[in-house]
Structure 1
Amino acid sequence: MATLNRGMWDRGRSRLIDYAARALSGYDTVVSRLREAAREHESEETRQYLALFEQDNEDLRTQIAEHKRHTAEMVAERAYLVEELEALQGENVDLRHRWDDARRKLALVEPLLWRDHADAMAAFAESPTPDGVESAGDAALFAQAYLSDHLVLPDSACVDLEAIDTAVESKAWGQTSLRGFLALHAYGRALSAGEPGSFWTWCVNSGHPYAWTATSKKLAMAESATVKNTDKLRAKRIFEVDPSVDPSGHLFMEAHLKIAEGGGNLAPRVYFHPSREQGRVHVGYFGPHRNVPNTVA
């Protein structure tokens, strides 16, 4: 029985591949010709050549399929990033309009406020601002230190913030998180003053400069039926809460801020529960999305 000469195979393979590329317009044609030769000559050596070519052919097909899959993923990711960028640009324009509107209103009332409430205005002028927030951890510390009258953010709610703070987007996420806490704090203040409606309604209608963007990409007031009806997913959303809210010390929370849509499983989420009786908003969870998945792994 003939045995395969490996050196001859390598030289022949190189020549055939070159020939295929230049003259036969494809590797498949070479394999087809070898199959014909195998049928004509029925030699063991030819069959061995054919087997090697067919294996190479299969390997190439696998590589091509993998490249196509990778390319499709990159195209989809690019489309998602473009959509996210457009959404952020739109949000930025909206925030600038709100900021300009707030500045105009403040310019009108500031002289009256200084005249009638000088002490309060002086205290406000000396209060810290969020300009120095560099991370999600900073945002949590700021909220705990300065927003606790209408926003409850216990240490137990802050989960894996150090992981978020290692992300490239950590500074942007930290600043957006603080904006979210300021929105929840302002809503808590509104709850203490009357009946502002749901957080979504308040964000849409209040005109408050700290109002959160009420869109499905940034805010959810309820979870999907799948999450609510799947024990494993539902359990991920039962958080510690002050016993004054629920005697058990735990509460299932659905409403949450989406600090970022992109960013993978580290993108932060803020789950919260408004207490109309207390005029406060209780945060049950502030951490990466990976801990509150929407599907069962």
Structure 2
Amino acid sequence: MFNELGTEFDEVKAEVRELRRERSDLQEWEQEAERLEAQLDYAKKLLIVNGICDDFRLDEEGRFREKPPRSSREVATMVRKYLHDRVELHSEALRGDKVMDRNSASASWAQTAWQGFKALYAYGEYMAENPGQNVDFFTWCSGPHNRSGWTRDKTARGESGATMDKRGKTRIFPVSVKLSRNEEMEMVQHLKIQRKGEGDIPRVYFVYSPRTKKVHVGFYGPHELVPNTKSRKR
């Protein structure tokens, strides 16, 4: 009987050793998968910020296909994943996404917004590499360094005095404590994802900080949340 128990014990020990080896192999495979995924994300980022292609995913046949964002939430995810070193989209910046995304133009808006965020990235890169430059985004859009395709007619340098007098509080947005001690800041520069329309057309408010060398986005949402003096009351 003792011999049988000894044999069973040896078999159990052998199985435990095998399981430990398999677990070790699994951990190595997981680490390798994480490393390859990080390399792929970096390669994607290089393609994106250099204007070669947008994000791409595996299709049903296992081939890579370009897949631009189709909703404001997808845009926010891509900005945070690929553009975060020059564009900081605050965790509370995306507001009213359901309002924007239920419009029939939502996919077109998402793609335009993505182009705008990539332009902000390029602007942030230029400003970070040229410290001391006093160039706002509106001016940069008309200059020789803008190769993003984003034009200044889709950009507002500021708001009218009447709008700020009457609606100024709606232009104060959350920012990182690295940018402002009280974690909020007035922003008036913005992207016009669609220039004219109803209250659900998207707007993106931002400011560049030479201290952080980033474009900080405090608002990405529908126009109705940042009304001007021409906006209809709801």
> Which is richer in helix?
1
Q: Deviations over 1:169-200 (max 9, x none)?
A: 00100000001100111111111101261111
SS in 1 for 2:212: coil
Is 1:206 aligned to residue 168 of structure 2? no
Match of 1:157 among 51, 69, 93: 93
SS in 2 for 1:244: coil
Structure 2 gaps of 5+ residues are 1-41, 56-66
What does residue 93 of structure 1 align with?
Answer: none
Contact 2:87 2:217 (C-alpha < 8 Å) held by counterparts: yes
Query: Distance between the aligned counterparts of 1:123 and 1:181, measured in 2?
Result: 13
Query: Distance between the aligned counterparts of 1:164 and 1:288, measured in 2?
Result: 6
Query: Distance between the aligned counterparts of 1:139 and 1:173, measured in 2?
Result: 10
What does residue 284 of structure 1 align with?
Answer: 218
Matched residue type, 1:158: L
Is 1:175 aligned to residue 111 of structure 2? yes
Distance 1:122 1:147, change over 3 A: closer
1:278 deviates by: 1.8
Which structure 2 residues correspond to residues 1-297 of structure 1 after superposition, within 5 A? 124=46, 129-130=54-55, 131-194=67-130, 195=133, 197-215=135-153, 218-230=154-166, 233-295=167-229, 297=233
Distance 1:177 1:126, change over 3 A: closer
Contact 1:150 1:280 (C-alpha < 8 Å) held by counterparts: yes
Query: Distance between the aligned counterparts of 1:229 and 1:122, measured in 2?
Result: 44
Distance 1:158 1:126, change over 3 A: closer
Contact 1:219 1:257 (C-alpha < 8 Å) held by counterparts: yes
Query: Distance between the aligned counterparts of 1:247 and 1:163, measured in 2?
Result: 31
Distance 1:209 1:182, change over 3 A: same
1:122 deviates by: 9.6
Query: Distance between the aligned counterparts of 2:206 and 2:157, measured in 1?
Result: 10
Matched residue type, 2:46: F
Query: Distance between the aligned counterparts of 1:122 and 1:293, measured in 2?
Result: 37
> Bigger shift: 241-250 or 166-175?
241-250
1:129 deviates by: 2.2
> Which is richer in strand?
2
State the TM-score, normalizing by the size of structure 1: 0.55
SS in 1 for 2:152: coil
Matched residue type, 1:205: G
- Larger-gyration structure (1/2): 1
SS in 2 for 1:157: coil
Matched residue type, 1:248: N
SS in 2 for 1:159: coil
SS in 1 for 2:142: helix
Q: How many residues align?
A: 174
Query: Distance between the aligned counterparts of 1:192 and 1:202, measured in 2?
Result: 13
Matched residue type, 1:197: V
Query: Distance between the aligned counterparts of 2:126 and 2:203, measured in 1?
Result: 23
1:246 deviates by: 1.4
Query: Distance between the aligned counterparts of 1:186 and 1:226, measured in 2?
Result: 32
RMSD, matched Cα: 2.3
1:207 deviates by: 4.1
1:221 deviates by: 1.0
Query: Distance between the aligned counterparts of 2:182 and 2:91, measured in 1?
Result: 18
Distance 1:126 1:167, change over 3 A: closer
Contact 2:187 2:205 (C-alpha < 8 Å) held by counterparts: yes
Query: Distance between the aligned counterparts of 1:244 and 1:139, measured in 2?
Result: 24
Per chain length, whose mean CA-contact separation is higher, i.e. which structure has more relative contact order (CA < 8 Å, sep 6+)? 2
